[in-house]
Structure 1
């Protein structure tokens, strides 16, 4: 009985620690979107303030594309940048940042420009 209680306490502490980290709640374009033209913006909304340290937009070949806007040292719930015109193809947004609790975080999402 005591071991079950101890296990439950450890499990709840671990789940709380996982939930404490910021994560991307939504993106523009949405992950996996197929869009007809260059998006007006690359946007990420986080569930807790995030200090974005790096954002890269790369094509299918791994070539980095220009993003205007950018990283800020102040924690924010939102990141917005404007991409340069994009040719049809697949793109991936890769980001890194620091959560409000100081943990390093990273993520990515992809979209495709069809024409």
Structure 2
């Protein structure tokens, strides 16, 4: 009987661990550290639904307005549009959100625009 208990315990532990895992960023565009000439969109992809509650784009002249294409519903793919005119320089994207389990999440990534 004990030879069946161990595999069952391992399976239960694996399920419990995956149930406690929070959403993770799988991809971001522009890529962190990227050097680009233009940016058409700011995109985040998650492995589980995430409700993005705030997103900020900071450029060489300070904070810039972004237009959310994705609403406040939990999604695995978030998209926002930067302003049309973006001068060359360093940019930072800060985001905050809530994972499907209610856990608050946040992240930052940056890129550089060239002439």
TM range (shorter): 0.7 to 0.9
Residue 28 of structure 2: aligned partner: 27
**TM-score scaled by length of structure 1:** 0.78
After superposing on structure 2, the runs of 4+ consecutive aligned residues of structure 1 that deviate more than 4 Å are: none
Q: Structure 2: state its 5+ residue gaps.
A: 1-9
> 1:24 offset after TM fit, Å?
1.2
Aligned counterparts of 2:67 and 2:92: Cα–Cα separation in 1: 16
Q: Structure 1: state its 5+ residue gaps.
A: 1-8
> 1:68 offset after TM fit, Å?
1.2
Deviations 1:6-27 (A, max 9, x none): xxx9xx78x9379611121101
Residue 73 of structure 2: aligned partner: 74
Superposed CA RMSD: 2.3
Could you tell me whether the CA contact under 8 Å between 1:55 and 1:70 is conserved in 2?
A: no
**TM-score scaled by length of structure 2:** 0.78
- Alignment length (residue pairs): 102
Deviations 1:68-99 (A, max 9, x none): 12562210001101101210000010000000
Aligned counterparts of 2:19 and 2:106: Cα–Cα separation in 1: 14
Which has the larger Rg? 2
